[in-house]
Amino acid sequence: MLQGKRILLVVAGGIAAYKSLELVRRLRERGAAVRAILTRSGAEFVTPLSLSALTEDKVYSELFDLTDEQEMGHIQLSRDADLLVVAPATADLLAKMAHGRADDLASTALLATDKPVLAAPAMNVRMWEHPATQANLETLKQRGILFTGPNEGAMACGEFGPGRMAEPAEILAAIETALAASSRLAGRRVLVTSGPTHEAIDPVRYIANRSSGKQGHAIARALAGLGAETHLVTGPVALPDPPGVSVTHVESAEEMLAACRALLPVEAAVCAAAVADWKVESRAGEKLKKDGSAAPALVLAPNPDILASLSEAGNQRPSLVVGFAAETQSLIENAKAKLARKGCDWILANDVAPASGTFGGEENEIHLVSAQGVEDWPRMSKEAVARRLAERIADHFEGGKAA
């Protein structure tokens, strides 16, 4: 199962670090290659020598160790792995991860990676239960970091409660699950559209909408997290490019359609962009001047419908095309009509009536509408919607559950 898999293990400073040695032994027994980063405080609990003997590799610890950087830069180190495992994950390291700090090799590798990360927290019960740690945990979960443990029990500090690192066998099982999940869509090429489009009025002005791109970017991240070769075509947004995703930046609907077509063939397309329905036909080549005459009238013309266009039958049609429908009334009825009109396979219908609190919020309540019927999802964060959609797409390709 783990034959040929590459694990980058980060060992931070906690008494549970001794269990990580056992974890390395078990991983090696199952055929995984393990590289280890030992933090400075981690080295207070286990020696580089024991880690190195078990991994049969050198142990990495210093960010600015020139030999390390010459042999292998920290970026390379974090990308040359199939999975990063942080065990033990201390309160301090979780805080660094949540806040994007990179002041040593371990935190830098964790910030630089585009691979899945599994953390096994270990700390004193009060540190674990502290709102700061719980908030960091929530942030990291939202970003897709996986967790195993902690377990409840007597602790080295003499207290009792949750905080003990999961046992090596439990971490091993979580590693196997994470690796299996991270390759569910391996070898599949997928396309996601995201963000608003900008339709130029003249060289400096445009018509836009309030789409943040959060949902579309989260979907691209989730698909890449399952191993898909993910291509994101995005209108202008204030979000960073998701790691491990190839990103094409566009402005107008026409550019978005051209970029999507250039990426075909793909097996699945998810249209999450809020594409402007209209472009400015009277677009001026020079900046419009207020020269005393009447205000200019904008002449609009319809934009291409990217979702409908990708759904058109033909040998380049993705085998699964997914669109969104934001409705304020008759949600399911309108979504079904939209499914038929656009010719796509699934519509994720979303109630955006003011009372639902969805619009502009962090959460979505989705109904997956397809020819097979309607699947109601519970209210969840946009990140969770993205992960659930990616899993459903994987189910679809595995011929499992129909929508």
Tally Cβ neighbours within 10 Å of residue 343.
17
Query: Taking Cα atoms as reference points, which of 149, 84, 97 lies closest to residue 120?
Result: 149
What does the alpha-carbon distance between residue 160 and residue 154 come to, in Å, rounded to a whole number?
4
Q: How far is CA 312 from CA 255, 261, 321, in A?
A: 19, 12, 10
x/- contact string, 169-208, with ligand CTP (CB under 6 A)? ------------------------x---------------
What does the alpha-carbon distance between residue 396 and residue 393 come to, in Å, rounded to a whole number?
5
Stretch that binds ligand CTP, among 80-88, 302-310, 369-377, 392-400 (CB under 6 A): 302-310
Q: Which of residues 246-265 bind ligand CTP (CB under 6 A)?
A: 253
Using CB under 6 A, which of 324, 349, 367, 368 touches ligand CTP? 324
Tally Cβ neighbours within 10 Å of residue 121.
30
List the end-to-end C-alpha distance of the chain, in Å, as a whole number.
30
Cβ 314 to ligand CTP shortest distance, Å: 17
What does the alpha-carbon distance between residue 249 and residue 367 come to, in Å, rounded to a whole number?
29
Q: Which is nearer to ligand CTP, 111 or 337 (CB)?
A: 337
Phi, psi of 391 (to 5 degrees): -65, -40
Cβ 193 to ligand CTP shortest distance, Å: 6
Cβ 381 to ligand CTP shortest distance, Å: 19
Cβ 341 to ligand CTP shortest distance, Å: 8
Residues 6+ apart with CB under 8 A from 356: 365
Contact between 279 and 252 (Cβ < 8 Å)? yes
Cβ 400 to ligand CTP shortest distance, Å: 24
326 forms part of the interface with ligand CTP (CB under 6 A): yes
x/- contact string, 265-294, with ligand CTP (CB under 6 A)? ------xxx-x-x-----------------
What does the alpha-carbon distance between residue 170 and residue 121 come to, in Å, rounded to a whole number?
13
303 forms part of the interface with ligand CTP (CB under 6 A): yes
Stretch that binds ligand CTP, among 15-23, 54-62, 130-138, 323-331 (CB under 6 A): 323-331
HSE toward the beta carbon, residue 108, CA cutoff 13 A? 17
Give the 3-state secondary structure of residue 74. helix
Query: Taking Cα atoms as reference points, which of 286, 268, 282, 82 lies closest to residue 204?
Result: 286
Using CB under 6 A, which of 59, 252, 323, 388 touches ligand CTP? 323
Cβ 260 to ligand CTP shortest distance, Å: 9
Known catalytic residue: 344? no
346 forms part of the interface with ligand CTP (CB under 6 A): no
Q: Which is nearer to ligand CTP, 228 or 348 (CB)?
A: 348
102 forms part of the interface with ligand CTP (CB under 6 A): no
Six-digit token string for 159: 């207290």
Q: Which is nearer to ligand CTP, 165 or 219 (CB)?
A: 219
Q: Which is nearer to ligand CTP, 86 or 271 (CB)?
A: 271
What does the alpha-carbon distance between residue 195 and residue 238 come to, in Å, rounded to a whole number?
9
306 forms part of the interface with ligand CTP (CB under 6 A): yes
What does the alpha-carbon distance between residue 135 and residue 122 come to, in Å, rounded to a whole number?
16
Stretch that binds ligand CTP, among 162-170, 183-191, 280-288, 298-306 (CB under 6 A): 298-306
Q: Which residues form the interface with ligand CTP (CB under 6 A)?
A: 193, 253, 271-273, 275, 277, 303, 305-307, 323-326
Tell me which residues are annotated as active site: 157
